[in-house]
Amino acid sequence: MLLLKKRLGINKRIMDEKLLEIICCPETHQPLRSAGDDVILDLNQRIEANKLVNRSGEKIGQKIDEGLIREDGKILYPIRQNIPTLLVDEGILL
């Protein structure tokens, strides 16, 4: 399974649960939850196809390792190298 995840561009690390309880959406302050592998795979495929932009309209060129989805399911904040990017403009519309 790990080999498959690496081949598909998924390097899944489980974010510290205590940290996940503390952080929230920087825009709405809604709780965040970890994105599933299927969501990350889909986004990384769209990144490879050069078809994914963030909320500021910039194309995303670097694959994401994980993501945090806002409680309402509308926005994902990317995690790369185990560091969440919790900036409104860096959010990805789902």
Give CA 60 to chain center in angstroms: 12
The predicted-structure confidence for 14-31, as pLDDT tens digits, reads as follows: 556 777 888 999 999 999
Question: Coil, strand or helix: which one is 45?
Answer: helix
pLDDT of 4 above 50: no
Q: What domain count does the chain have?
A: 1
pLDDT band at 3 (very low <50, low <70, confident <90, very high): very low
Give whole-number Cα distances, 86 to 1, 2, 6, 24, 41, in Å. 29, 27, 25, 8, 20
Output the pLDDT for position 15. 58
pLDDT of 10 above 50: no
- Structural domain range at position 49: 2-93
The predicted-structure confidence for 41-85, as pLDDT tens digits, reads as follows: 999 999 999 999 999 999 999 999 999 999 999 999 999 988 899
